[in-house]
Amino acid sequence: MRRLLSILIAGSLLGMGAAHGAELRIGLSADVTSMDPHFLNLAPNNNIAWHVFDALTHVDNDARLIPGLATSWRAIDPTTWEFKLRPGVKFHDGSALTADDVAFSIERSAHLPTGQFGSFTRRIAATRIVDANTLHLKTATPYAMLPYDLNSVFIVSKKAATGATSADFDAGRAMLGSGPFRFLRFARGDRVELARNDAYWGARDKALTAWDRVTFRIIPNDPARLAALLAGDVDLIDNLPTADAAKLRSDARYELVRKVSWRTLFFTLDQERDAPPFVTDKSGRPLGRNPFKDLRVRRAISMAINRSAIAERVMEGLALPAANIVSPQVFGYAPALKPEPYDPDGAKRLLAQAGYAEGFGLSLHAPNNRYVNDEQIAQAVAQMLARIGVRTRVETMPVAIYLGKARRREFSFAMLGWGSFSGELALRTLLATPNADKGTGTWNWGGYSNARGDALLERALATAADARREALAREAAMLMLGDLGVVPLHHQIAVWALRRGLAYPGRADEFTFAHQVLAK
């Protein structure tokens, strides 16, 4: 009887959900390439980093800035920001997190050789530790976006990370954070394993970290990821293939969660070089000039893309046609920008006016395992461009290869997806003139440059008043996107699939946070 009673009690506890003692298994659609939170600014890496580490500021599920390790921040003069740290926060080894660790993390993120976090720290001219829980950050000129920037700087332990390489983070030797989970193991290309941090500060305020253990399975292949969910090998998957959403919607064993993402897909066009690679006449010979430098050509390409058809057919309703590079809920979104109407005849006329009546040839490069239906989107756009005389060859590759080539500017017409919680920050990264000293244009693959747009953007970044800053950001967006510095395609609608009995709120930033997955 005692044995039977213990079995019944254990079964009852299992039926109550995930409250302590449970493991959560998550299938991720994109590869995780590094555990070092300052090495590569990639969403899959950052998704893991948010579990182990923390930042001064957070964003909520709708991409609004909220307190994190800093409980408050204020500009005490036009060029000095004061951040007050949350008292009593501990690293996973029990040591206290102090302003010294914050200062060290800012310095480290600014000076790693990859330089991918430089745009978030470039404006900081000096750091002063006032006391263990107070930090003053000085900028050379007035700069209103510092609290937003510091959402992207993860705080590491100075003791653990001093002298550490990215390999030390991958091996776990330097993986000492203050986030909701402790690091256990990283098996590249396979999984990341984490364990609950019982001392996490957020658990004092809300029901976070209900899971004893979390395993992130890296499953970039869509059918394989869905199969893992259906077989019960994982409890939750992100980036549910659009073709499978309708089938799962009617299956009582699963829940679907949708959220308009902050991620926008667009195409970059090389507008800097005179002879960009992979751009030829229709017989494959060099053109002798760069067609993308002509606004008429850029507009013809935009007019040739049937965004509504892609959203409805390729994305099966899980996308919104775009003219902005931030989605509608994001600060700085410009409602006056409207998606380019589909007009292939008008596109042909523009090409003829630009001197390309016979069209030309190009290669469209895209990842095949990063964005929802990325390869299918590339193929659809290629067919649309072919209809206006632009013979388009599609070349796709895994994102781990693709991003390196794209950042080395080996492509001329390339797909990119980007998410930001502020329009001016997206413009600074994607369309501002590349400038290493200012940290602008760090992902401006096309070399686009617009001096007037840069000036508007600088004014926005220096303006503390939200209403005025948003007006300037919208004006800069109208100018740079009206000039088609990039060609926007659509805003994604993110979809998660969960086994019945779990709940997830969905996030505009598309992150999948284990500490927000709850059992019903």
Query: Which of 446, 292, 303 has its CA nearest to residue 354?
Result: 292
282 in any annotated domain: yes
Domain count, the chain: 2
5 in any annotated domain: no
**What single string gives the DSSP state of each residue in 420-465?**
-SBHHHHHHHHTSPPBTTTTB-TT-TT----HHHHHHHHHHHT--S
Q: Contact at 8 Å (CB) between 470 and 223?
A: no
360 in any annotated domain: yes
The list of the chain residues with pLDDT below 70 reads 1-21, 115, 204-209
Q: Contact at 8 Å (CB) between 228 and 477?
A: no
Same domain flag for 392 and 506 = no
**The tokens 């209900």 sit on which residue?**
210
Same domain flag for 318 and 378 = yes
9 in any annotated domain: no
Query: Which of 220, 256, 515, 316 has its CA nearest to residue 228?
Result: 220
Q: Across the strands, what pairs with 418? A: 264
Same domain flag for 474 and 514 = no
Supply the range of the domain harboring residue 397: 261-493
Model pLDDT, residue 1: 32
Q: How crowded is residue 9: how many other Cβ atoms within 10 Å of its Cβ?
A: 10
Model pLDDT, residue 16: 36
What are 316's two structure tokens?
């099966």
Same domain flag for 128 and 202 = yes
Backbone angles phi, psi at 363, to 5 degrees: -110, 130
Model pLDDT, residue 13: 34
**The tokens 């659609």 sit on which residue?**
29
CA distance 94 to 108: 22
CA distance 336 to 323: 9
327-341: burial string, b at 16+ Cβ within 10 Å, e else = bebbbbbbeebebbe
Same domain flag for 59 and 187 = yes
Same domain flag for 233 and 287 = no
What are 380's two structure tokens?
């659809």
Residue 278 belongs to domain with CATH number: 3.10.105.10
334 in any annotated domain: yes
Model pLDDT, residue 307: 98
CA distance 113 to 167: 14
One-letter amino acid at 367 equals: P
What are 299's two structure tokens?
């507009």
326 in any annotated domain: yes
Model pLDDT, residue 18: 42
Q: 3-state class of 32 per DSSP?
A: coil
pLDDT in tens, 337-348: 999 999 999 999
What are 304's two structure tokens?
């040739």
CA distance 91 to 44: 23
Model pLDDT, residue 15: 35
pTM of the model: 0.80
Model pLDDT, residue 21: 55
Same domain flag for 103 and 46 = yes
10 in any annotated domain: no
Residue 236 belongs to domain with CATH number: 3.40.190.10
Query: Which of 213, 228, 59 has its CA nearest to residue 240?
Result: 228
Same domain flag for 122 and 229 = yes
Same domain flag for 44 and 179 = yes
12 in any annotated domain: no
Same domain flag for 509 and 457 = no
Handedness of CA 345, 350, 356, 357 (dihedral sign): positive
Handedness of CA 416, 420, 423, 428 (dihedral sign): negative
- Distances, alpha carbon 372 to alpha carbons 222, 226, 369, 445, 495, in Å: 9, 14, 8, 21, 10
Same domain flag for 224 and 330 = no
Same domain flag for 302 and 197 = no
